[in-house]
Structure 1
Amino acid sequence: MIQAILKSKLKEDVCLQLNIPNHSFTYLCDCGQASDLTISDIKNIQAIFISHTHIDHFCNFDTILRHQLQVNRKVTICGPKGIAKNVQSKLLGYNWDILLSEEQAAEALHYEVREISENQIDVYVLHTPKWELEHKGILQEQYLYENEVFSVEYAILNHRTPCIAYCFTEHSKISIQKDLPFKQGEWIKALKQAFVEQNPEKEILIEGNLHKAQDLFVYLEEKKGSKIAFVMDHLASEENHQKIINLCKQADELYIEAYYLHEELELAEKNHHSTAFLSGQVAKKAHVKKAIPIHFSRRHQTEEAIVKVVEEFEKGFNEKFN
């Protein structure tokens, strides 16, 4: 199960870490100020998902860079159009006069940046020490990001600037029933593969006899993986709301901005933000199991103000719809 942990304190910015039990790496959503993000956390980051590069969502990238320098592997960064230049500008802000051999440079920390626009996802790489931006082409995979544990989908929201919402879906786990008419063996692996590949006609060899995979699927049990969504700054418009609903439908957990109170709706619209009530409503319409309001305006940082924001969010989330 994907475990989401807020690394930013109440009066800090936004930083959500995703952990997977028995998995070597961690994953980060946004790089705002986050005093609970440890050096160990940073060294284990495999990919970073940036909603947009307003300072409260990107200012802590420098700290992350500082503690990743000894990590000799690729780190992937996903974000909106312009993210590749944003990352390069951060890197070029420092003096890199330490000379590396070509072999050392090839093995050192390097970034792959996946830049999301309306029609395509451009892939760039940056290598030390020059950090030149090299365009590698257009991403052809089905998902923005995928590994052996989960896949990532996204939606582009309007926050005056593009703001990327992300949804992380853990792969289903396929297990075999205990009571079988055959002895366990290599055929189980072949059967699971046929199920994942949706290949019911595949022939499976069991104890010297061939069986159609579709006749054996009855012995498999599928457990759906968890689904975590991360939705930051957005205008509370019908278009944005429909995108959020489509992306986050039936998520186990949704972390969503609740920047303003609903009495500040005019200010929210002016600044292309949502209100706590409207964020609660859209979470309800997406039928998420659990909705967590985060990212509050600095005008709502006292304990009393936070209680009011959360109450308003829950009112929206508990509202009944036809």
Structure 2
Amino acid sequence: MRPLLHPMLINGRTGDPALYIETLFEQRAILFDLGDITSLSPRKIRRLEHVFVSHAHIDHFFGFDRLLRVLVGRDKRINLYGPAGFVDRVRHKLQAYLWNLVDREPGDLTFVVTEIRSSLATQTVRFRLKTAFAAEAIGTGRIDQGILVQDPTFRVSTAVLEHRTPCLGFAIEEPAHFNIWKTRLAGLGLPVGPWLRDLKRAVIEHRPDDFPVRISPSMKSSNEHDLPLGQLRDVLTVTPGQKIGYVTDVADTVDNRKAIVELVKNADLLFIEAAFARADVALATERAHLTTEAAGQIARQAGVRRVEPFHFSPRYAGEDERMQNEVVAAFAGHHR
């Protein structure tokens, strides 16, 4: 089944962390971490809807100004997420600039910023260009079961990890993949058409069998009628959707390992930092990062299908193959 989520490390395995994920067939994208995004085209930046920042160290948050510069003047809403204190950090970024001419801008750029505390309590604040990015409190809440965003086409979960400061890990998951059986449609005398999107959505939302689905041969057709969902279930098969994990800048502790494994369990793809080589475990411990061996072990314990290490320290410049091999060896269960 063709995956709908297509991830790309903007700066490779050694540059600033920034994982861009496009949604197939839709002009939408999300971003995990906001390091240097200079190489990301304005067209791709304009597709962003959600940006998830693990923490505000400069290599994870440096790209905010580029994001702002590309989007100012457009009618656009960006949902930003980060750990405790994130709302104030965004506010300070925005207030570093003078906005006395905002009445001349054609669009009202809006940032809706949610910070997640260690207790999973949340605070959300809105910043709008037309009000010179004054802070407007939206409210407080609490994340249920770690689910931060629930969208019809994906959901994003989070866990609060430790890097001598709270640091968020993330997992994005498609709700399901669908395969439409055209022969079964034909057997029921039903057409292929846009109405199948409504059928898929009804299944995703766990509607009951008596839920009416509108059948329409085309967008402009007047020959429309309803059928109950229960009569239509056999025309499609459902398989679990793709799951992608993203974890970076975490200390190798028992609590972190447990939380990461729970967050990314059975992921199809795990992007995980491997900042230091296996032999440099003392340095990794001192700087609260993972080694290549720890990254591979965590991926193995979580039962992920594929591991993609990144965020290699600059001290290993030109040694990407060695670092990857150490991760793969630990992931395969090979011991020293």
Which bracket does the TM-score occupy, shorter chain normalised?
Answer: 0.7 to 0.9
Given candidates 236, 244, 251, the residue that maps to 1:220 is 236
Question: 2:42 is aligned with what amino acid?
Answer: I
Tell me whether 18-27 or 36-45 shows the greater mean CA deviation.
36-45
Task: Kindly indicate whether the alpha-carbon contact (under 8 Å) linking 1:231 and 1:255 is maintained by their aligned counterparts in 2.
Answer: yes
Going from structure 1 to structure 2, the CA distance change for 1:300 and 1:145 (only over 3 Å counts) comes to same
Partner of residue 247 from structure 1, selected from 263, 283, 286:
263
1:259: Cα distance to partner? 0.5
Match among 309, 312, 320 for residue 326 of structure 2: 312
Q: CA deviation at 1:26?
A: 1.7
Give, in whole Å, the separation in 1 of the partners of 2:143 and 2:253: 30
Amino acid at match of 2:25: N
* Ranges in structure 1 where 5+ consecutive residues have no aligned partner: none
Q: 1:196 aligns with which of 197, 200, 204?
A: 204
1:212 CA drift (Å): 7.4
Does residue 45 of the first structure (1) align with residue 48 of the second (2)? yes
Q: Which deviates further from its counterpart, 23-32 or 8-17?
A: 8-17
Q: 1:13 to 1:252 in 2, by over 3 A?
A: same
Per the alignment, in what secondary structure is the counterpart of residue 246 of structure 1?
Answer: helix
In structure 2, the CA distance between the partners of 1:194 and 1:8, relative to structure 1 (3 Å rule), is closer
Structure 2 residue matching 1:179: 3-state secondary structure: helix
Q: Please, which moves more after superposition, 132-141 or 191-200?
A: 191-200
Structure 1 Cα separation of the partners of residues 150 and 20 of structure 2: 17
* Cα distance change on mapping 1:182 and 1:140 into 2, 3 Å: farther
Report the TM-score, using the length of structure 1 for normalisation: 0.87
Partner of 1:116: 116
Structure 2 vs 1, CA of residues 216 and 134 (structure 1 numbering), >3 Å: closer, same or farther? same
| Deviation (angstroms), 1:165 | 0.7
Question: Aligned in 2, Cα 1:151/1:218: closer, same or farther, shift over 3 Å?
Answer: same
Tell me by how many angstroms 1:27 deviates: 1.3
Query: CA 1:36–1:9 in structure 2 vs 1: closer, same or farther (change >3 Å)?
Result: farther
Q: Quick one: which of 80, 83, 93 aligns to 2:83?
A: 80
Between the aligned partners of 1:189 and 1:57, the Cα distance in structure 2 is 37
Contact 2:121 2:142 in 1 (8 A): no
**Structure 2: tracts of 5 or more residues without a match:** 216-225
**SS of 2:103 mapped into structure 1:** coil
Say whether 1:27 aligns with 2:14.
no
The one-letter code sitting in structure 2 at the alignment partner of 1:196 is I
RMSD of the TM alignment (CA)?
Answer: 2.9
Deviation per CA, 1:70-116: give whole Å up to 9, x if none.
Answer: 32121110111111111111111111121418xx78x5101001111
Cα shift readout 1:183-232 (whole Å, capped 9, x = no counterpart) = 2269977765553343445266999xx99755753443113321111101
Distance 2:102 2:292 in 1: 51
- Cα deviation for residue 18 of structure 1 reads 0.4
Distance in 2, matches of 1:190 and 1:226, equals 21
Q: 1:136 aligns with which of 118, 124, 138?
A: 138
Contact 1:258–1:295 at 8 Å: present in 2 too?
A: yes
Counterpart secondary structure, 2:183: coil
Count of matched residue pairs: 315
C-alpha deviation, 1:257, in angstroms: 0.4
Aligned residue for 1:36, secondary structure, equals coil
Q: C-alpha separation between the residues in 2 aligned to 1:42 and 1:193? A: 28
Residue 144 of structure 1 aligns to a residue whose secondary structure is: strand
What is the distance in 1 between the residues matched to 2:213 and 2:312? 58
In the aligned structure 1, how far is the partner of 2:305 from the partner of 2:48?
27
